């Protein structure tokens, strides 16, 4: 299963303005097998949980535990011991939707294991329920984007596929630069932004950019919109010096770039041009890791 990035509109989307998100080709897989305890293994976290029941409070695995509970409950299956092994290319807690990806892949693997047919709408509904229960509050951005793929507009917690933009985007090569660990959680950043008395002015500008981006058919123009959106996010104080350094380099050696997700560190999304080798040479010492990616339709 894939990952997601927000191309435009993070934070503004919390207030009903539009955001544009995209499914990208960073994968997660979950293997399900019979076991004599509940065993959850994550290669990424280098961690294994072994438990007699699903009432264990393990923060790292709370999404998986809740996925199991909701799956068993929804399909009236008597819980039985299983081993779930999770392999993911998606770095955790940096705005790429690693939790939603793991939830969705777990649901798919469980449905295969139990021979239950799930369509995309079933998966979306169940995955959103798991996110909501685990986080207390969740937007549909991650679960919708990762379930349905392509490029989506999210507005008022509803989504629609942007099929025209899909045609343009599939010709684009992106690079995700994981610059630094986030210093705050999404909820804390959303709260801080909510305290800014000028936020609505900024959100209106961001919404205009997202609206323009839907109609764009030119990489240079699209890159400029990414940079404009980043400037506005800076005014919301969610960028960092390290992120801005990477964006400054990307300004010279790509079509454009912006921070993606809640901010406070994390990732930058860059639209590549022919200077990508030079770009990589110049940013590689300023990042934790780099992920070349394309949209997954």
> Under the rule (CB under 6 A), what is the footprint of ligand PMV?
10-11, 13-14, 95, 139, 141, 186, 190, 261-262
Would you say 29 is a known binding-site residue? no
Q: Between residues 11 and 228, which has the closer beta carbon with respect to ligand PMV?
A: 11
Q: Where are the alpha helices (DSSP H) in the chain?
A: 62-74, 98-113, 120-135, 141-148, 163-169, 186-194, 199-215, 219-235, 241-253, 276-283
The minimum distance between CB 189 and ligand PMV, in angstroms, equals: 6
With a CB cutoff of 8 Å and minimum separation 6, the contacts of 29 are 1, 86, 87, 88, 105, 109
With beta carbons less than 8 A apart as the criterion, state whether 103 and 143 touch: yes
Would you say 100 is a known binding-site residue? yes
Would you say 97 is a known binding-site residue? yes
Closest to 61 measured CA to CA, from 143, 134, 144, 136: 134
**C-beta neighbour count of 267 within 10 angstroms:** 27
The minimum distance between CB 64 and ligand PMV, in angstroms, equals: 19
Q: Between residues 223 and 261, which has the closer beta carbon with respect to ligand PMV?
A: 261
CA distance 68 to 114: 12
Q: Between residues 190 and 202, which has the closer beta carbon with respect to ligand PMV?
A: 190
Q: Between residues 64 and 96, which has the closer beta carbon with respect to ligand PMV?
A: 96
Q: Between residues 32 and 90, which has the closer beta carbon with respect to ligand PMV?
A: 90
Please say if 142 is a catalytic residue. Answer: yes
DSSP class of residue 58?
-
Cβ-closest position to ligand PMV: 261
CA distance 257 to 275: 14
Q: Catalytic residue among 142, 197, 248, 274, which?
A: 142
The minimum distance between CB 132 and ligand PMV, in angstroms, equals: 12
Would you say 102 is a known binding-site residue? no
CA distance 130 to 138: 10
Closest to 96 measured CA to CA, from 162, 191, 23: 23
The minimum distance between CB 63 and ligand PMV, in angstroms, equals: 14
For 32, the token pair is 């399900």
The minimum distance between CB 141 and ligand PMV, in angstroms, equals: 5
List the beta bridge partners of residue 50.
39
Would you say 136 is a known binding-site residue? no
Would you say 85 is a known binding-site residue? no
Q: Which residues are catalytic?
A: 142
**Residues annotated within a binding site:** 91-101
**Residues annotated within a binding site for ATP:** 91-101
């Amino acid at each position: 299963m894939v990952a997601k990035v927000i191309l435009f509109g993070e934070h503004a989307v919390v207030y009903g303005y539009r955001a544009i998100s995209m499914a990208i080709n960073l994968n997660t897989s979950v293997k399900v097998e019979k076991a004599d305890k509940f065993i959850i293994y994550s290669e990424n976290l280098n961690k294994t949980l072994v438990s007699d029941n699903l009432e264990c409070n393990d923060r790292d695995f709370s999404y998986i535990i809740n996925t199991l509970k909701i799956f068993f409950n929804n399909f009236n299956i008597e819980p039985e011991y299983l081993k779930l092994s999770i392999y993911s290319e998606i770095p955790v807690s940096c705005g790429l939707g690693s939790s939603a990806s793991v939830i969705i892949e777990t649901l798919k693997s469980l449905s295969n294991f139990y021979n239950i047919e799930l369509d995309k709408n079933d998966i979306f509904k169940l995955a959103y329920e798991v996110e909501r229960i685990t986080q207390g509050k969740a937007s549909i951005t991650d679960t919708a984007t990762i379930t349905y793929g392509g490029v989506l507009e999210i507005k008022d917690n509803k989504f629609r596929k942007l099929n025209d933009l899909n045609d343009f985007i599939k010709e684009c090569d992106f690079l995700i630069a994981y610059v630094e660990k986030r210093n705050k959680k999404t909820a804390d950043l959303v709260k801080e932004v909510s305290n800014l008395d000028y936020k609505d002015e900024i959100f209106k500008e961001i919404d205009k950019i997202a609206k323009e981006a839907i109609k764009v058919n030119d990489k240079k123009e699209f890159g400029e919109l990414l940079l404009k959106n980043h400037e506005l996010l800076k005014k919301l104080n969610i960028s960092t010096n390290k992120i801005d350094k990477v964006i400054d380099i990307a300004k010279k050696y790509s079509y454009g770039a912006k921070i993606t997700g809640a901010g406070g560190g994390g990732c930058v999304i860059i639209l590549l041009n022919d200077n990508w080798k030079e770009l990589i040479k110049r940013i590689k010492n300023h990042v934790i890791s780099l992920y070349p990616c394309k949209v997954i339709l």
